[in-house]
Amino acid sequence: MTAGAASDGAPTVPAGPLAGCRVVELGGIGPGPFAGMLLADLGAEVVRVDRPGRADEPDAGGPADVLNRGKRSVVLDLKDPVATAALLQLVERSDVLIEGFRPGVTERLGIGPHDCLARNPRLVYGRMTGWGQDGPLAAAAGHDITYIALTGALGAIGDPDGPPQIPLNLVGDFGGGGCYLVIGVLAALHAAARTGHGQVVDAAIVDGTAHLLASTFAKLARDEWSDERGVNRFDGGWPFYAVYETRDGRHVAVGALERKFYRSLVELLGLDVDPDRQHDRSAWPELRQLLTKRFAERTRDEWAAVFEGTDACVAPVLTLTEAAAHPHLAARGSLFTRDGVVQPAAAPRFSATPSSAGRTAPTVGADTEAVFRDLGVRFSE
């Protein structure tokens, strides 16, 4: 069966680059499960360990549980010493463990880094938190919005006269959190292969988000960025890198930063402006008014047709539902539908060991017996 032809809608491809890597994921929410999904998409065998009772939650398992696709699911009561002993046996047979509890929780359960590395010195122990394993806020509660607030990222996004705008939970949970956990795990796996020794990966959302701001801090240091929102190059402050409303109440995104792209934008819009004055800030208020007025003359899709195939760097702002049907995303298979659920395909792509979106998330605990049997783990509930 060729890639993309699996009966359940998931592509069937050769084993991914992490084939043979075993991962134990202690069940959590947000960035931890996302990291586990990404590792599974890359070919790792991921076993998610859930607590008793999670099966009764509405988002547990099944087609819509996208973050747990491609994994196997076991249920263990980690407050039970017998279950803890079984988990440690899983750890002995695995390459990676990832967990997203507050600092100190796994230590109290007897499955902290010291316990696990004693059983498996090559283990990579990945820890996902918002504030990190130490620091004044390490034990405090938080969510994506509070983490990115303290890094400066949230305060930099939005209109100059309005409140900061929440960028979904992409910047914190998934960008600065889950992705950095995976980066850390992969780097530690490489080190373990070289040295024979595992280690702890302390992935904190505040650290990852701050790291994502490297370019912005560099611009701030060079006086190329003002420490206020809505007045800079990438926050809508420049009129030729902004979002404009169209006649039908929808929007187009304009990113004509380079001179040749800006010239193309001006020509296609039929604006009576001198393209050589692109960076004359005194002309920007009038330019923004002209752009606002011109884009309001046609619908979003009419403008999309005007700019199709040009280098003006203009794109329609699509909804999540519309994105799945866009010809470019459809041609690349960036999104696919399985069991009525639109979801992202695996990313990035590999020439020799393709990644692949795993099968639909199983019901919670569906693989408990099979996982312990396959790995030769002795466990009796």
Catalytic residue, candidates 173, 202, 207, 235: 173
Question: What is the DSSP pairing of strand 22-26 with strand 45-50?
Answer: parallel
Distance of CA 36 to the CA centre of its chain: 11
Task: Give the CA angle between residues 49, 112, 173 to the nearest 5°.
Answer: 60
- Catalytic site includes residue 279: no
Helix (H, G, I), strand (E, B) or coil at 257: coil
Q: Are strands 96-99 and 124-129 parallel, antiparallel or unpaired?
A: parallel
- Round to whole Å and give the CA distance between 350 and 233: 33
Burial class (CB in 10 A: 0-12, 13-18, 19+), 296: middle
Whether cis (ω within 30° of 0) applies to the bond prior to 348 is: yes
Contact 70, 357 (CB under 8 A): yes
30 torsion bin: left (phi>0), alpha (psi -120 to 50), beta (else): left
Q: Identify whether 143 is a catalytic site residue.
A: yes
Per the residue annotation, which of 143, 211, 251, 326 is the catalytic one? 143
Residues 147/131, Cβ–Cβ less than 8 Å: yes
In whole angstroms, give the CA distance from residue 180 to residue 128: 9
Q: Output helix, strand, coil percentages for the chain, rounded to the nearest 5.
A: 40, 15, 45
- Give the 3-state secondary structure of residue 80: coil
Residue by residue, DSSP assigns 268-289 as HHT--S-GGGTT-GGGHHHHHH
Catalytic residues: 143, 173
